[in-house]
Amino acid sequence: MLAKRIIPCLDIKDGRTVKGINFVDLRDAGDPVELAEIYSREGADELVFLDISATEQKRKTLADLVYRIGEKINIPFTVGGGISSVKDVDILLQNGADKVSVNSSAVKNPRLINDLVAKFGSQCIVVAIDAKQIDGKWTVHLVGGKVPTELDLFDWAKEVERRGAGEILFTSMDNDGTKDGFANEALARLSTELNIPIIASGGAGNMQHFTDTFVKGKADAALAASVFHFKEIEINDLKKELQKEGIPVRL
């Protein structure tokens, strides 16, 4: 079995790392360059950088900040926010990103996924999907969770895979920031119905939640923010605990 990945996430707004609950009530969580360096040193498998206000503010991702982070880390680095073209991805890869994450732009123009995969390869393209349950259905949301669509999570995930994306980063808006655990039922369905890796996001509050998302949710990786930013969980301690539970991780 492939090693499960632990991925800290830097949600960036106005150049600072922030964290909220259910995508609102954001609070400052520190300097992104400093945090990135710490996570790289402490054994994170990858790092995700999401410029959460880029789409809403109709601007591009902060390439300069991406460059400064890329200089300080030696782990795979995924960057997202405001990406809508091949040129945008080119700029981010030149500034230190290893992979890119597209979300709203892919829903508005699904062909973008095909174009990016053709140019950069599947391994470079992550599609982020933010969804919440409305009337019992997982509904995809855009623009940092502010705009609901008619899309069903599972239908969209299958289309994303068909178009060649290498991974899906699924964030449950219902679980985000609650520290009540990941949306394991939805994650298990995604993992069962798709053949590409699924990254779980939204809801991490303790070490057991990570075990549960790997076992019950069948996730390939688990992404978290506040539990790492505010030192509630140390990455190395988490990996040792997962190893004790029989979950393969890189120590």
Instruction: Determine how β-strand 77-80 pairs with β-strand 24-30.
Output: unpaired
Residues 6+ apart with CB under 8 A from 120: 89, 93, 100
13, 49 Cβ separation under 8 angstroms: no
Type of residue numbered 35: L
Handedness of CA 59, 106, 78, 202 (dihedral sign): positive
pTM attached to this predicted model: 0.92
Q: Report which of 100, 94, 96 is spatially closest to residue 51, judged by C-alpha positions.
A: 100
* 155 tagged catalytic: no
Q: What is the distance of C-alpha 187 from the center of its chain?
A: 14
User: pLDDT tens, position by position, for the chain (251 residues)?
Assistant: 789 999 999 887 776 666 555 544 445 556 889 999 999 999 999 999 988 665 444 445 678 889 999 999 999 999 998 899 999 999 999 999 999 999 999 999 999 999 999 999 999 999 999 999 999 999 999 987 889 999 999 999 999 999 999 999 999 999 988 899 999 999 999 999 999 999 999 999 999 999 999 999 999 999 998 899 888 999 999 999 999 999 999 99
Secondary structure (H, E, C), the chain: CCCEEEEEEEEEECCEEEEEECCEEEEEEECHHHHHHHHHHHCCCCEEEEECCCCCCCCCCCHHHHHHHHCCCCCCEEEECCCCCHHHHHHHHHCCCCEEEECHHHHHCCHHHHHHHHHHCHHHEEEEEEEEEECCEEEEEECCCCEEEEEEHHHHHHHHHHCCCCEEEEEECCCCCCCCCCCHHHHHHHHHHCCCCEEEECCCCCHHHHHHHHHCCCCCEEEECHHHHCCCCCHHHHHHHHHHCCCCECC
Q: How far is CA 230 from CA 8, 29, 190, 233, in A?
A: 12, 7, 30, 8
Confidence (pLDDT) at 59: 43
Strand partners, 50: 11, 80
List the domains of the chain with CATH numbers: 5-244 (3.20.20.70)
Confidence (pLDDT) at 82: 84
Locate 16 and state its tokens.
């600072």
Locate 6 and state its tokens.
């632990």
* 11 tagged catalytic: yes
Catalytic residue among 88, 130, 176, 220: 130
Confidence (pLDDT) at 42: 94
Confidence (pLDDT) at 170: 98
Type of residue numbered 84: S
